[in-house]
Amino acid sequence: MALIATEELTKRYGQVTAVSELTVAIEPGVVGLIGANGAGKSTLIKMVLGLLPPTSGRASVLGLDIATDGTAIRQRVGYMPEHDCLPPDVSATEFVVHMARMSGLPKTAARERTADTLRHVGLYEERYRPIGGYSTGMKQRVKLAQALVHDPQLVLLDEPTNGLDPAGRDDMLGLIRRVGTDFGISVLVASHLLGELERVSDHVVVIDAGRLLRSSSTADATAASQLIAVEVTERTDELAAALREAGLGAQLVGTLLEVDLQDDTTYDIVRDAVAGLGVGLIRMERRRHRMSEIFTTPDGSR
């Protein structure tokens, strides 16, 4: 059964089309939803929650119709909004217990699950202090905990790494990966950073201006056009020529040489070519895709 299936799903706000004829089927697992700001990610999430009626088209979540089974969907789904949503005057424990009860858990179960969930997201002693004094990283963890506390079958995370520093970002991404693999809960995580989602998701859905650009497994998406960047001390053009001779695509970008990564032997070929020229190798690294690259479909049209 598809986790989320949409058929010609469209949402218009007056003149503005937020989501346009989106047809996509997403299998369970960790799914990345990628799009620039305003691409329609949040609108899609709200429709998936059954809170925003589509202008036209249909969609189902966990086999439930978004138009008619909203309450049943919201019983089985957890949601972490992009914006702040925590009152400052209560502790994380009090707040998450309350939210567990608002998902229909009895009092005792709510307490037990809150303690478990807060531990899983990495909040320990500080969970008894008022949320007002928390760092952004801790607040994001509380937001994630309230989405997980009722043990949903699917969590919808809207920009969960917003406002986090690089270390906090890594922690949050690791946590999201664990939710998918160790907890066995499907995840739909929206972000405008592809590099981030590449690392944690099994599948990526790319939308732009409300339209579907690509829906494929992460492996497919990245295998298509992987690059390594090579920087040498001198004679970069000669190196490029040598690599082309060896059958590799290589183009000069500024002082860097971008080489198509075919398989692991590519690294050896580059190494040998550099050694053959007798120049110094400053760096050789995997390139992350930029949004613009993945936004370009194989035939070059947008």
Partner 1 sequence: MTTGQGVIHDLGYRHYDGARAGRRYIARALFLESAKGAYGLGRSAKSKVMPMLLLAAICLPAFIIVVITTVTNADKLAGDYTSYVLNVSLLVMVYVAGQAPTSVSRDLRFRVVSLYFSRPLERVDYVLAKYAAMTTAVFVLLALPLTILFVGALLAKLPLDEQVPDYLRSLVGALLVALVLAGIGLVIAALTPRRGLGVAAIIAVLAVLAGVQGAVQAIAVEEGADTFAGYAGLFSPFTLVQGVMSSVLGAEKVLEAEPPGALGGAVFFAATFLVVAACFGALLLRYRKVSI
Residues of this chain that bind partner 1 (CB under 8 A)? 46, 49, 51, 71, 74-75, 77, 79, 81, 83-90, 94, 98-99, 101-106, 109, 113, 116, 119-120, 130, 146, 150-151, 182-184
Nearer to partner 1, 180 or 266 (CB): 180
Minimum separation from the CB atom of position 109 to partner 1 (A): 5
Query: Strand, coil or helix: what is 241?
Result: helix
Nearer to partner 1, 71 or 301 (CB): 71
Which two tokens mark 192?
A: 């405008």
Taking CA atoms, 46 is separated from 3, 126, 158, 180, in Å, by 16, 31, 10, 21
Minimum separation from the CB atom of position 9 to partner 1 (A): 18
Nearer to partner 1, 44 or 99 (CB): 99
Are the C-beta atoms of residues 33 and 44 closer than 8 Å to each other? yes
- Whose CA is closest to 199, among 176, 225, 227, 168? 176
**How far is 61 from 291, CA to CA, in rounded Å?**
27
Nearer to partner 1, 99 or 240 (CB): 99
Alpha-helical runs (H) found in 103-135: 107-120
Ramachandran bin of 214, using left for φ above 0, alpha for ψ from -120 to 50, beta for the remaining angles: beta
Residue 25's contacts (CB-CB under 8 Å, 6 or more residues apart) are 2, 4, 5, 6, 215
Are the C-beta atoms of residues 56 and 8 closer than 8 Å to each other? yes
**How far is 111 from 107, CA to CA, in rounded Å?**
6
Nearer to partner 1, 74 or 289 (CB): 74
Nearer to partner 1, 79 or 295 (CB): 79
Triad 195, 161, 177: Cα angle to 5°? 70
Phi, psi of 126 (to 5 degrees): -65, -10
Nearer to partner 1, 64 or 248 (CB): 64
